[in-house]
Amino acid sequence: MPYKEKPVEKLFYTIGEVSKILNVPVSTVRFWENQFEILKPRKNKKGNRLFMPEDLKNLKMIHYLLKEKGMTIAGARKHLSEKLDETEYKLAIRETLLNIKELLINLRNNI
């Protein structure tokens, strides 16, 4: 059985990397940072935002609620405060299904 390396997870993501991952403008990430208390990126000496994996996970939840579920900022804030565990669970299932879909597409292309 060949050795399979575990994907490397970065310790910090820049705001540009986060915006590319979420496919939203940098200004949107900055706006969400001001609107949601759960987002607390660190800043380096220059003042550049550095997002930890936990911040990225929270941003993915916010993106899901706002862009895919169509919630308002206030509604997403309320939902996150009341149903954080349920939202995390749904997001994890969604990401798992997307990964499975990608694997199946890769398998089909290799056949």
Taking the whole predicted model, whether its pTM rises above 0.75 is answered as no
State how far the alpha carbon of 97 is from the alpha carbons of 46, 55, 100, in Å: 39, 22, 5
Pick the closest to residue 35 from 27, 43, 23 (CA basis): 27
Predicted confidence at residue 98, as pLDDT, reads: 79
Q: Please give the average per-residue pLDDT across 51-72, as a whole number.
A: 91
Q: What are the structural domains of the chain?
A: 13-82 (1.10.1660.10)
Does residue 9 or residue 84 have the better pLDDT? 9
Amino acid at position 76, single letter: A
State how far the alpha carbon of 83 is from the alpha carbons of 7, 65, 74, 80, in Å: 29, 12, 14, 5
Going by pLDDT thresholds of 50, 70 and 90, the confidence category of residue 80 is: confident
> What value does the CA radius of gyration of the chain take, rounded to a whole number of Å?
16
Measured distance CA(54)–CA(111) in Å, rounded: 37
Question: How many residues are listed for the chain in this entry?
Answer: 111
Q: Per residue in 13-59, pLDDT tens?
A: 999 999 999 999 999 999 999 999 889 899 989 999 999 998 998 99
